[in-house]
Structure 1
Amino acid sequence: MSTAMSPYGGARAWAAVVLAPLLQVTLVNRVTLPGQVTPDLPLLCVLALARLRGPVEGAVAGFVSGLLLDLIPPAAHPVGRTALALCVAGYAGGHLRRLPAALGLPLGVVAGVVVSAGVHAALGDPRADGPALTHVLPLAAAYGVAAMPFVWFPLRWKARDAFPAARPARADRLLVAHPPHPAVGRAGAPRRRLRQGRRRRSRQAGGRPAGPWRDSR
């Protein structure tokens, strides 16, 4: 991970989450792709923020982005349906952040598409019936996985990770952080300290040390 990371990565991701619903309605939905399915830009931005900031912020971002989608015309479904779907998707995507990006991001997109479709179907959306799901889900997942790098890399660039992956501590870092005690870190320190103490007591008594503790001078 880069050490020169900008503290504005989170703000950039949140700006993308807020702007994604408007871009989805005004631009992305007008793009003609095979199968009449377009990438879910709000979902991709929510998953990118969830990977950067964790599951809690991912859930909040999903709720905010989904609520904006529910309110922007020409939304005809009840307010809160898309917010709930993206909230669950953002929370699930945040828990996949421990996986490598090459694996966690595609899994997050597929899981988000499936969760969103399941929430819409459970809440009675007539567009989420069996035939429509079998046709839309594979294309939506494929388009989302293909478009995810164009969302992830601009948001990830120099962004600060709220939960950096733990790295094993090196021995030299431990020695710098906790230097050894002088009496323990050197091999001959205890014996020299004992020898100096005996010499000092001998001088105070007025005599000279004898035997192996005799002063060499």
Structure 2
Amino acid sequence: MNNPARILFCALAVGLALVLQTTVFPHLAWRGVGPGVVLLVVVAGGLARGAHFGLVLGFGAGLLVDLAPPSDHVAGRWALALMAVGYVAGRVRQDGPVGVPGGLAAVAACSFLGSSVFALSGLLLADRAASVPELLEVVLAGVVWDLVLAPFVIPVVTRVLARLEPEGAAVR
């Protein structure tokens, strides 16, 4: 992750995604659940560059989500969840080129994984009092939101990352 242009782009993409996620999308949320725009940027980074890149990007992005207002949870939960998401997305990339159906499947799986890790870590830490059926409803609503927004985020981020360093687009 030593390419300065790639680092700058990822910082800008995560920053913009975080601003949209915390300011615009709460107004469009369904029962308090909106899309995970930052999660989508991490998925795109993992799909474009591989597991290690996705893991590092997920950690940094997750820390920003954890610390961004209005943060109402124990810090580190999103960092853990987005690390797992970035790693899994990067492993999908290692299996070969990902088309549209594969990309949407990866988004659905990563969204489910990230939201589940976040929700389960909250249960383990007694961070929030919510029942498992309520958490499942939130996770599934998040997956639907992420699938709706994915066609607008994933292609843009993956194309830019591929253009910034076209040789060896995935680090294994």
TM-score (norm 1): 0.63
Instruction: Determine the structure 1 residue equivalent to 2:98.
Output: 100
Q: Post-superposition shift, 1:48?
A: 0.8
Alignment partner of 1:153 is 2:151: no
Q: Post-superposition shift, 1:66?
A: 0.9
Instruction: Determine the structure 1 residue equivalent to 2:46.
Output: 50
Change (3 A) 1:115 1:129: farther
Maintained 8 Å contact 2:35/2:142: yes
Q: What whole-Å deviation, never above 9, does each CA across 1:47-98 have from its counterpart, x for those lacking one?
A: 1111111111111111111101111122121111111100110110111122
Alignment partner of 1:37 is 2:39: no
Paired with 1:45 and 1:65, the residues of 2 have a C-alpha distance of 9
Could you list the runs of 5+ residues in structure 1 that have no partner in the other structure?
Answer: 1-6, 166-217
Q: What do you get for the CA RMSD once the two structures are aligned? A: 2.5
Alignment of 1:158-173 (within 5 A): 159-160=162-163, 161=166, 163-164=168-169
Please state whether the residue corresponding to 1:86 is helix, strand or coil.
helix
Give the greater-gyration-radius structure (CA): 1
User: Once the two structures are aligned, what percentage of the paired residues are identical?
Assistant: 34
Q: Which stretch shows the higher mean deviation, 125-134 or 50-59?
A: 125-134
Structure in which a larger fraction of residues adopt helix = 2
Q: State the AA in 2 paired with 1:22.
A: V
Alignment partner of 1:138 is 2:140: yes
Q: State the AA in 2 paired with 1:116.
A: G
Q: Which stretch shows the higher mean deviation, 22-31 or 124-133?
A: 124-133
Could you list the runs of 5+ residues in structure 2 that have no partner in the other structure?
Answer: none
Paired with 1:127 and 1:44, the residues of 2 have a C-alpha distance of 27
Q: Post-superposition shift, 1:152?
A: 1.9
Change (3 A) 1:31 1:150: same
Q: State the AA in 1 paired with 2:102.
A: G
Alignment partner of 1:18 is 2:15: yes
Maintained 8 Å contact 1:51/1:94: yes
| Aligned with residue 120 of structure 1, among 113, 118, 121 | 118
Q: Which stretch shows the higher mean deviation, 14-23 or 120-129?
A: 120-129
Q: What whole-Å deviation, never above 9, does each CA across 1:145-190 have from its counterpart, x for those lacking one?
A: 121110122223453346358xxxxxxxxxxxxxxxxxxxxxxxxx
